[in-house]
Amino acid sequence: MSLITSAKAYLIDIEVETVRTDAVQAFLKQETIFVDITTDDGLTGTGYSYTIGTGGRSVLAMVEELILGLSGSDARNVGGLWHRLFASTRATTVGAITSLALAAIDTALWDLRCLRAGEPLWRLAGGARQRVPLYDTEGGWLHLSTDDLVTGAKASAAAGWPGVKVKVGKPTAVEDVVRLRAVREELGPELQIMVDANQSFSVSEACRRAEAYRPLDLAWFEEPMPADDVAGHVALARSTNIPVAVGESMYSLAQFRDYLARGACSIVQVDVARIGGITPWLKVAHLAEAFNVDVCPHFLMELHVSLCAAVTNGRFVEHIPQLRAITNTTIEIADGHAVAPETPGLGIDWNRDAIDDRRVS
């Protein structure tokens, strides 16, 4: 047995490491909701979840409600606990606040599971291979000039990274194309270029932009339309040979099922916080594998490096460092790959003093 004796939740704000803008929003601060769960065998697992600037207190309130029922439960039964907590939130599921709250608890339970086993997350969750290719997003924000984009892509290529993401969604298609063409012409055909519209286009405009982007040989077209427009994504996927990537704005396994079954995407970007934790993240990854679709998760590289390394269809980790202010070490990068940590647990080396300094609740 490994009975839960206490669970504590708290919220901190982490300042953004750089200005980040896309077609619909800016990253204001990382509201980070932590959960520490302690068991009677003396272990404490730490999990977390996040927002990019709004709703953090709502997530914290949901977490505080959910953890009231954890005391005395056997922390080893992670799948059962996830399902029990989910089932207790029928009135607010499926929804972002509840999924983000479940994630903070579920990742703490997985930390405990890995600590108890003395194994790193990447191995306990599947153990496919320890290194996963990395691509950069930090050099591709929408406010950056074309020269900045080229400079960022050159730095990534010089470091041996296989890809870069460039935000799209300028007022006209030609503005996007000019920026992308500059990167492609300067860097040559080898560099993988991903583009991301952050759900900003209508169906017709997404199809039109995909046609405009076609000569640029893009690795994928991410979130071209609102995530609830599955039919729009079906139409786009049929009209273009650019892979369509979705998932960072999806909050349940069934949403991914709908996209995959209808052929509406060919890359899934499931976000471990927004899907509700490691337990459902792995279900989505395995579901995608059954459709011969790769997983290239959104953000949270410190967790996703281990999850991508766990599954056979984890293809890329996204480079957006945002935990450096509250961790003692950052993820290892070697030869264009992110290397999953070998330390038992989630493998994130928290700086507890830095966390305490940023507490807001």
Judge whether 304 counts as a catalytic residue: no
How does strand 337-339 pair with strand 131-136? antiparallel
Beta bridge partners of 246: 268
78-97: which residues touch Mg ion (CB under 5 A)? none
Q: Which one of the spans 67-75, 193-201, 211-219, 283-291 is the region binding Mg ion (CB under 5 A)?
A: 193-201
* d(C-alpha 33, C-alpha 40), whole Å: 24
Which is nearer to Mg ion, 196 or 229 (by Cβ)?
Answer: 196
Exactly one of 29, 298, 319, 337 is catalytic; name it. 298
Torsion angle of the four alpha carbons 142, 146, 147, 149, in this order, in degrees rounded to the nearest 10: 50
Which is nearer to Mg ion, 116 or 298 (by Cβ)?
Answer: 298
What's the closest the beta carbon of residue 238 comes to Mg ion, in angstroms? 22
Q: Does 136 bind Mg ion (CB under 5 A)?
A: no
Q: Which residue is nearest to Mg ion (CB)?
A: 196
What's the closest the beta carbon of residue 298 comes to Mg ion, in angstroms? 6
Residue 2: what residue type? S
Q: Which one of the spans 100-108, 126-134, 183-191, 194-202 is the region binding Mg ion (CB under 5 A)?
A: 194-202
* d(C-alpha 223, C-alpha 200), whole Å: 8
Judge whether 154 counts as a catalytic residue: no
Residue 196: what residue type? D
Among 138, 176, 196, 271, binds Mg ion (CB under 5 A): 196
Which is nearer to Mg ion, 138 or 196 (by Cβ)?
Answer: 196
- CB 112, CB 37: distance < 8 Å: yes
* d(C-alpha 237, C-alpha 221), whole Å: 10
- CB 325, CB 354: distance < 8 Å: yes
225-244: which residues touch Mg ion (CB under 5 A)? none
What's the closest the beta carbon of residue 109 comes to Mg ion, in angstroms? 27
**DSSP code per residue over 117-154:** HT-BHHHHTT---SEEEEEE-TT--TTS-HHHHHHHHH
What's the closest the beta carbon of residue 216 comes to Mg ion, in angstroms? 18
Residue with the two structure tokens 């560099």: 191
Which is nearer to Mg ion, 31 or 196 (by Cβ)?
Answer: 196
Which is nearer to Mg ion, 43 or 216 (by Cβ)?
Answer: 216
Exactly one of 167, 304, 319, 337 is catalytic; name it. 167
What's the closest the beta carbon of residue 228 comes to Mg ion, in angstroms? 16
Residue 178: asked if its preceding bond is cis (omega within 30°), the reply is: no
Q: For residue 225, which phi and psi values (nearest 5 degrees)?
A: -135, 170
What's the closest the beta carbon of residue 352 comes to Mg ion, in angstroms? 31
Q: Which one of the spans 196-204, 213-221, 255-263, 331-339 is the region binding Mg ion (CB under 5 A)?
A: 196-204
Q: Which one of the spans 167-175, 191-199, 260-268, 338-346 is the region binding Mg ion (CB under 5 A)?
A: 191-199
* d(C-alpha 169, C-alpha 159), whole Å: 28
- CB 192, CB 243: distance < 8 Å: no
How many residues line the site for Mg ion (CB under 5 A)?
Answer: 1
Which is nearer to Mg ion, 111 or 196 (by Cβ)?
Answer: 196
What's the closest the beta carbon of residue 8 comes to Mg ion, in angstroms? 32
Residues 6+ apart with CB under 8 A from 279: 78, 79, 82, 106, 110
Which is nearer to Mg ion, 111 or 229 (by Cβ)?
Answer: 229
- CB 321, CB 329: distance < 8 Å: no
Q: Which residues bind Mg ion (CB under 5 A)?
A: 196
Catalytic residues: 167, 298
